[in-house]
Structure 1
Amino acid sequence: MTSSPTTGDASSTTMPPRRRHGMRPSAPGEGSIKEKPGFNAGEDAAALRKAMEGIGTTEKTLIDILTGRSNAQRQLICKAYQDVTGRTLVDDLEGDTHGDFEDILVALVTPPAQFDCDEYIRATKGAGTTDRTLIEIFASRSNKQIKALSDAYLAKTGNSLIDSLKSEVSGDYGKALIALAEGKRDESANVDMAKAKADAKVLYEAGEKKWGTDESKFIDILSHRSIPQLRQMLVEYKSLSGKTLQESIESEMSGKLEDLLVAVVKCVKSVPAYLAERLNKGMKGMGTNESTLTRILVSRSEIDLLDVKAEYKKMYGCSLYSAAETSGDYGQTLLKICGEKD
């Protein structure tokens, strides 16, 4: 990826990201699912086959194996299963399980990029678009994840992801979503202090200081600057305007564009905290949004789910494990993905 050029005058200093005003430095996350030592794909495939043969299905075996192996190991199990049976594991899971339990088991045996692709297709098919899902995916994924999603979409449909989005979304919201889906965010770890101040000034003058809002400035900066650079810009913005950038977006914008840009700002500060909030919203109110729980827990299980759990406990005062208001085989699968009680 090409980094945005920095200015060359003496006031522009480049320095590594640092902790400041509560901003957390980037750090590798930690998933709840690890590779299983002594893994044997053939043995696992045979155990899964046995669990689904005959009358009834041994759900515990399905849960224990599929939540106790990394996704890479699960792909080897899928291959071994098909080599022996001539059938795909996905087809047999869909034939022997149903509902949310089926959905989460299929999600577990799907490669991550393909799973994101499937979630994107689900969000855009039929009447209307599930914008909250699109916002969650494109606000929280890295360039690498977005490129993998785009490649998976092209392989599955023969069409480009960007062309698909252009037919689904419009207006400034559409422009912002497409800018994120292009995956062109600068990936430099350095922070240009002068540029952070300049960007904060641009956004202040495009929003709070202006009659009417220049949305294009917000879209460009929030979709292309690096995460460390944006974290520093948030500090500079608060210093300049006396309000947080999120507060300004919420007062200056509305609708889906506001939702998307607020999500981006939240992910700049902490993707795990943003996803913890999404999980909480998915579990409160009338009924549980199982598709949101499945998508977040499965997609983050090897990335930063332990961080999501920690943020959830900090934000809501209870563990994600205890808050998951689900039951049955689906609930047991969620809890196994979550890992130990905290």
Structure 2
Amino acid sequence: MSVWDDLDLLLDSPSSLTVASSARGTVKDKANFKVEEDVSALRKAIEGIGTTEKTLVEVLTQRSNAQRQLIAQAYEKKTGRKLVDDLEGDTHGDFEDLLVALVTPPALFDCREVINAIKGAGTTECTLTEIFSSRSNRQIKALSEAYLAETGKAMIHDLKSEVSGEYGEALLILAEGKRDESTNVDTAKAKAEAKALYEAGEKKWGTDEQKFIDILCHRSVPQLRQTLVEYKNISKKTLQESIESEMSGNLETLLVAVVKCVKNAPAYLAERLFKSMKVSFAKWLTESTYCLVAPCPFCAQQTVVLITAGVERNVGPLFYAQHWLKCVNWP
């Protein structure tokens, strides 16, 4: 059974959309952390003849995000140079992207990915979908603040000019970061809304996408989890299956991502990670680097164990995920 179909433990499971970001991860604050020693090691690795990649990996992947920010501050104070600039000057390609991501605050990293997704001709919807379906209200608020500081403009304003239709409407609701955060569950309401979703999709000719958008983009995670259970009781299909059969295009992709993140956000990111490693080389060059690099700074702090478990359970062979985690020296 796919992790997406198993609703048995859903109601009692914590969610990374509601649990504090550092509460469930494997990358904790390093014990006996000595920032000056790390700065010295990084300086030696970067300033010597040739860059010692092993040292960069060992230091930057085995410290928490908060500790990496302290390292970056101490590095600049000691050398007069920004650590990110030295990493960009001494490393190359995807390895450079990964190291730069690791020393970038998560909100700023997301901010720059949103900027890259909407600038120029065309919009990279897959990046926007992944970010806004998988981030909590707190993370989206931090992202919005980083975007304003980086560009001088409101993120919502820029998004409005780049996305349209029902996909754009749903994305903008998520990008406001105002999902209900109540932990209370109204079972009667869940049953009523499950019925409303069934009647808006499976039961009628054509689909009332507005009903799906309103419920999936506004309700709290615990409430939606109860609704998913009630929906399957009514339809005998999961809500994800109904969306996949009733909708298409970017809206389908976004709403399926929302449902998956409500169920298990780490498993959703694990699936994205796995698929990014299976694409053709040509596609890898155009869009998959984000999928491989992005989960590292965002999820190493909070959900690496759950991502690994999600890959193993959801997509079968763990080889691809294990190989990637080994390459970046994730614990």
TM-score, normalised to structure 2, is: 0.90
**How many residues are treated as equivalent by the alignment?**
314
- 1:25 is matched with 12
Q: Do 1:41 and 1:77's aligned partners in 2 also have CA atoms closer than 8 Å? A: yes
2:12 aligns to what SS in structure 1?
coil
* Moved >6 Å (runs of 4+): none
- 1:300 is matched with 299
Q: Provide the rounded CA distance (Å) in 1 between the counterparts of 2:239 and 2:45.
A: 53
Q: Which stretch of structure 1 is more off in the superposition, 47-56 or 76-85? A: 47-56
Is residue 240 from structure 1 mapped to residue 239 from structure 2 by the alignment?
Answer: no
- 2:37 is matched with 43
Alignment of 1:181-220 (within 5 A): 181-220=175-214
Q: Provide the rounded CA distance (Å) in 1 between the counterparts of 2:253 and 2:143.
A: 22
Q: Provide the rounded CA distance (Å) in 2 between the counterparts of 1:270 and 1:332.
A: 23
When residues 83 and 221 of structure 1 are mapped into structure 2, their CA distance, relative to the original with a 3 A threshold, is: same
- 1:318 is matched with 317
> Residue 60 of structure 1: CA displacement?
1.0
Q: Provide the rounded CA distance (Å) in 1 between the counterparts of 2:33 and 2:9.
A: 42
Is residue 175 from structure 1 mapped to residue 162 from structure 2 by the alignment?
Answer: no
Q: Which stretch of structure 1 is more off in the superposition, 280-289 or 143-152? A: 280-289
Deviations 1:183-216 (A, max 9, x none): 1111111110010011112212222223322211
Equivalent in 250, 255, 261 of residue 249 of structure 2: 255
- 1:274 is matched with 268
- 1:55 is matched with 49
Equivalent AA in structure 2 for residue 256 of structure 1: N
When residues 324 and 132 of structure 1 are mapped into structure 2, their CA distance, relative to the original with a 3 A threshold, is: farther
> Residue 128 of structure 1: CA displacement?
1.4
Q: Which stretch of structure 1 is more off in the superposition, 279-288 or 143-152? A: 279-288
When residues 39 and 129 of structure 1 are mapped into structure 2, their CA distance, relative to the original with a 3 A threshold, is: same
Q: Provide the rounded CA distance (Å) in 2 between the counterparts of 1:192 and 1:183.
A: 22
Is residue 90 from structure 1 mapped to residue 77 from structure 2 by the alignment?
Answer: no
Is residue 99 from structure 1 mapped to residue 87 from structure 2 by the alignment?
Answer: no
> Residue 314 of structure 1: CA displacement?
1.7
> Residue 156 of structure 1: CA displacement?
0.6
Q: Do 1:26 and 1:228's aligned partners in 2 also have CA atoms closer than 8 Å? A: no
> Residue 85 of structure 1: CA displacement?
1.0
- Unpaired runs of 5+ in structure 1? 1-18
Equivalent AA in structure 1 for residue 300 of structure 2: S
- Unpaired runs of 5+ in structure 2? 1-5
When residues 133 and 211 of structure 1 are mapped into structure 2, their CA distance, relative to the original with a 3 A threshold, is: same
Q: Do 2:25 and 2:304's aligned partners in 1 also have CA atoms closer than 8 Å? A: yes
> Residue 250 of structure 1: CA displacement?
1.6
Q: Do 1:234 and 1:244's aligned partners in 2 also have CA atoms closer than 8 Å? A: yes
1:100 aligns to what SS in structure 2?
helix
Q: Provide the rounded CA distance (Å) in 2 between the counterparts of 1:93 and 1:157.
A: 23
Identity %: 63
> Residue 121 of structure 1: CA displacement?
1.4
Q: Provide the rounded CA distance (Å) in 1 between the counterparts of 2:8 and 2:97.
A: 42
Q: Provide the rounded CA distance (Å) in 2 between the counterparts of 1:259 and 1:152.
A: 26
Q: Provide the rounded CA distance (Å) in 2 between the counterparts of 1:304 and 1:242.
A: 31
1:74 aligns to what SS in structure 2?
helix
Equivalent AA in structure 2 for residue 72 of structure 1: A
Q: Provide the rounded CA distance (Å) in 2 between the counterparts of 1:254 and 1:317.
A: 26
Deviations 1:28-72 (A, max 9, x none): 562231211111112211211111114211111111111111111
2:86 aligns to what SS in structure 1?
helix
RMSD across aligned C-alpha pairs, in angstroms? 1.8
Q: Do 1:172 and 1:257's aligned partners in 2 also have CA atoms closer than 8 Å? A: yes
1:36 aligns to what SS in structure 2?
coil
Equivalent AA in structure 1 for residue 8 of structure 2: H
Equivalent AA in structure 2 for residue 222 of structure 1: L
Equivalent AA in structure 2 for residue 232 of structure 1: Q
When residues 147 and 26 of structure 1 are mapped into structure 2, their CA distance, relative to the original with a 3 A threshold, is: farther
User: Max radius of gyration: which structure?
Assistant: 1
> Residue 316 of structure 1: CA displacement?
3.3
Q: Do 2:311 and 2:321's aligned partners in 1 also have CA atoms closer than 8 Å? A: no
> Residue 333 of structure 1: CA displacement?
4.9
> Residue 324 of structure 1: CA displacement?
5.3
Q: Which stretch of structure 1 is more off in the superposition, 308-317 or 255-264? A: 308-317
When residues 251 and 314 of structure 1 are mapped into structure 2, their CA distance, relative to the original with a 3 A threshold, is: closer
